[in-house]
Amino acid sequence: MRRVGILTSGGDAPGMNAAIRTAVRTALHFGLEPWAIYRGYHGLIHGELAAMGSRDVSGIIQRGGTILKSARSEEFMTPEGRAKAVDMLRRHEIDSLLVIGGDGSFRGALSLQQEGVNVMGIPATIDNDIACTDYSIGFDTAVNNVMDAVNKIRDTASSHDRVYLVEVMGRHSGYIALYSGLACGADVILIPEVPYDLDAVCEQISQAAELGKTFNIIVVAEGVHAIGDDDGSENPAMQIGRYIEEQAGFETRITILGHIQRGGAPTVRDRLLASRLAYHAVELIFQGKGGKMLGEVDQKVVAFDLEYALAQEKQLNLDYYRLSNILSTI
């Protein structure tokens, strides 16, 4: 029986468990033997592997996180670490590997492919910063988590005359901030992809106050550089909040949402995306294919050459940004 290894790597994302469940059961369906690799590439190097059966993935479709656990491995970045990983796969007679993760995980997968391991990647990261797929697994749940939180903040915000800044994750990407900001009716959205002027933000808030607006919600992507001398040691929302207090005289409150965004039961969208991508990935492995990343583009599952996908830049839909500006300044 051919063996397929399955690992999750990088930041966990809601929907990873749905992908693992599908991968295991699809492998069994095609007569492959699924093997769990725990703690991503770190666990691969250190031999944390075990055969899996259908019952091992019962009752996990609704759970956030990843039952396989995840890790960011420094050792795997070294040639010695990768050699150990390849050796471990050979010793366990695993010739194909399904990698569920983000771009760092895919770079790792590509290096294994170059060492002769058959790899297949499916995109799972709340950041949605991977090209060749409209959405990555976990993004939809994360933006819904942000939306729930901002809805609550809005209740308290509407009871006070203050400016509320909510900082969201996304690493270098503004996807989470843009989608959640538009969905929450944020007054201002600050993202790394679009340069902004903090004095113009202060001006917008002041003008809105003159027209009777009593509070504002600003969604800030963690990846923005707030002020010119920003050295990255302080959260941008803190810096921007202080600037608004000092320059425009508004009282501010800051919420840094943090890891709450990554948790919770995956949404329908994430479960369906995870299930579809994992099914097709294992089907391709069964057909002997490798070196690919699967994405969903215009509702179709498409396989891209992994090296090509990694070289592409994910584009943000700036129509959403323009729409948000129109709605918040009228």
Residues involved in catalysis: 127
Structure tokens at 292: 């690919």
Q: Are β-strands 252-256 and 163-168 bridged in parallel, bridged antiparallel, or unpaired?
A: parallel
- The residues near 258 (Cβ < 8 Å, ≥ 6 apart) are 169
Is the CB of 15 or the CB of 102 nearer to ligand F6P?
102
The secondary structure of residue 297, as a DSSP letter, is: E
Residue 11 binding ligand F6P, by CB under 6 A? yes
Query: Cβ-count burial of 269 within 10 angstroms (0-12 exposed, 13-18 middle, 19+ buried)?
Result: middle
- Residue 170 within binding range of ligand F6P, rule CB under 6 A: yes
Cβ closest to ligand F6P, residue 5 vs residue 14: 14
Only one of the segments 39-47, 165-173, 212-220, 283-291 lies at the binding site for ligand F6P (rule: CB under 6 A); that segment is 165-173
Instruction: Give the number of residues in contact with ligand F6P, rule: CB under 6 A.
Output: 10
Helix 139-157 to helix 175-184 angle (10° resolution) is 50
By beta-carbon proximity to ligand F6P, the closer residue of 223 and 291 is 223
Instruction: Please give the residues from 199 up to 228 whose contact with ligand F6P meets the rule CB under 6 A.
Output: 222
Contact between 262 and ligand F6P per CB under 6 A: yes
CA atoms of 168 and 6, how far apart (whole Å): 30
Q: Which of 126, 132, 165, 277 binds ligand F6P (CB under 6 A)?
A: 126
The β-bridge partners of 224 are none
Number of residues that make up the chain:
330
Positions in 94-123 near ligand F6P (CB under 6 A): 102
Residue 125 makes contact with ligand F6P by CB under 6 A: yes
Query: With binding defined as CB under 6 A, does residue 169 bind ligand F6P?
Result: yes
Cα-Cα-Cα-Cα torsion 278, 283, 289, 290, nearest 10 degrees, comes to 10
The residues of the shown chain that bind ligand F6P, judged by CB under 6 A, are 11, 102, 125-127, 169-171, 222, 262
